[in-house]
């Protein structure tokens, strides 16, 4: 069972959909020590639903890491780092909060930003919500309220603050009011889904996601979130449909192929397992043979097909042999002390 746990994806990205909108600075030095590492899993899980999957190139990742190291070591460049975080839409809430507050607490650096000062207030407010530094978030939002009293965007931040506090009814009312003016606001629609999930209303989250996808059918992350909820409820046929949509729209993403294969293998039956084997194979192809989970999947599928058909054809023997050889090679290189365990597993599957 440990071979196929259901943690398909690790979410790490969070959208900072920020442009220039927005003087009073947050001057209190207490914010520089404001529990930046105090993570709240409930609100973090809600923020995960606002993921936007942006492919970050190796060059961009290297540039981000270099800037992050430079800023962490006091080498300057905080604004460049924060700007790159927004551009790449990566989630570095603790870093954004720490370095953002450093800029906001320095009047010279803050004034040098010009109109981008308000962008920074918003970015820090969202990071503070993510880190559960609610007083910091509250003060940032107050500054923005004063500058932009009628801004719907600031209103969204106010609703997010209510949500982070656990004031569900008030947050729901605030989101509904904002949606009356703009029913196609993607962020708010997804926040309502996130809130339903955080409250334990999984059926409400499913209903919200289905309604959302009727409008925003190209939102890959919503399809993926819905698929994972279905998997958690053991509604595998519905999950399979979601992964089919993902594969159609993003055929070169190996994680979609792998997750779809897992679901089909779990459903069982000869036809499903044969199809699962094909998608494990496509995962291996897309990853250059570097996906251990897919290699195990090939072995499990060929073993199951052999049992269901009372024998193996030559093609299955060849494929399972190649997968087993690749696994042995990887284990010898990475974890040689586990090679004997691998041999026992393959033997139990009648591959060796």
Give the pLDDT confidence of 71-119 residue by residue, as tens digits.
999 988 999 999 999 999 898 999 999 999 999 999 999 999 999 999 9
Tell me the pTM. 0.75
Per-residue b or e along 58-82, where b marks 16 or more CB atoms closer than 10 Å to that residue's CB: eeeeebbeebbeebeeeeeebbebb
Q: What percent of the chain stands above pLDDT 90?
A: 75
Asked if 102 and 32 touch (Cβ cutoff 8 Å), the reply is yes
Distances (CA, A) of 18 to 86, 205, 330: 7, 26, 44
Say what the alpha-carbon torsion angle 320, 323, 324, 328 is, to the nearest 10 degrees.
Answer: 170
Report d(CA 232, CA 13) in Å as an integer. 21
Q: What percent of the chain stands above pLDDT 70?
A: 83
pLDDT in tens, 258-293: 999 999 999 999 999 999 999 999 999 999 998 999
How does the average pLDDT of the chain come out, rounded? 85
Domain ranges of the chain: 1-199, 201-236, 251-352
Pairwise pLDDT comparison (121 vs 31), residue with the higher score: 121
What is residue 317's predicted lDDT score, i.e. its pLDDT? 79
1-199 architecture in CATH? Alpha Horseshoe (1.25)
Q: What's the pLDDT band for 196 if we cut at 50, 70, 90?
A: very high
Other beta carbons within 10 angstroms of residue 347's beta carbon come to: 10
């Amino acid at each position: 069972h440990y071979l196929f746990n259901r943690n398909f994806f690790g979410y790490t990205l969070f959208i900072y959909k920020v442009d220039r909108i927005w003087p009073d600075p947050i001057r209190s030095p207490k914010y520089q020590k404001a529990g930046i590492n105090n993570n709240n899993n409930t609100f973090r899980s809600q923020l995960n639903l606002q993921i936007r999957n942006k492919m970050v190139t190796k060059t961009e990742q290297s540039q981000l890491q270099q800037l992050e190291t430079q800023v962490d070591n006091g080498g300057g460049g905080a604004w460049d780092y924060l700007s790159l975080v927004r551009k790449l839409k990566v989630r570095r809430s603790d870093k954004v909060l720490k370095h953002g507050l450093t800029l906001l607490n320095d009047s010279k650096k803050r004034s040098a930003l010009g109109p981008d000062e308000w962008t920074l207030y918003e970015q820090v407010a969202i990071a503070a919500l993510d880190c559960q530094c609610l007083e910091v978030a509250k003060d940032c939002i107050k500054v923005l309220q004063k500058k932009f009293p009628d801004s719907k965007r600031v209103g969204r931040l106010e609703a997010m603050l209510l949500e982070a506090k656990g004031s569900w009814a008030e947050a729901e009312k605030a989101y509904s009011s904002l949606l009356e003016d703009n029913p196609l606001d993607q962020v708010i629609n997804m926040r309502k889904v996130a809130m339903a999930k955080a409250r334990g209303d999984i059926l409400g989250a499913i209903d919200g996601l289905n309604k959302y996808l009727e409008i925003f059918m190209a939102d890959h992350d919503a399809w993926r979130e819905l698929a994972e909820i279905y998997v958690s409820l053991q509604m595998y046929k519905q999950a399979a449909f979601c992964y089919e949509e993902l594969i159609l729209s993003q055929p070169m993403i190996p994680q979609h192929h792998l997750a779809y294969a897992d679901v089909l293998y779990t459903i069982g039956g000869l036809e499903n397992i044969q199809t699962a084997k094909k998608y494990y194979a496509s995962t291996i192809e897309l990853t250059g043979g570097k996906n251990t989970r897919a290699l195990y999947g090939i072995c499990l599928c060929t073993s199951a097909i052999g049992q269901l058909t009372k024998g193996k054809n030559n093609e299955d023997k060849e494929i399972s042999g190649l997968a087993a050889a690749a696994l042995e090679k990887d284990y010898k290189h990475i974890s040689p002390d586990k090679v004997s365990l691998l041999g026992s597993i393959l033997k139990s599957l009648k591959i060796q």
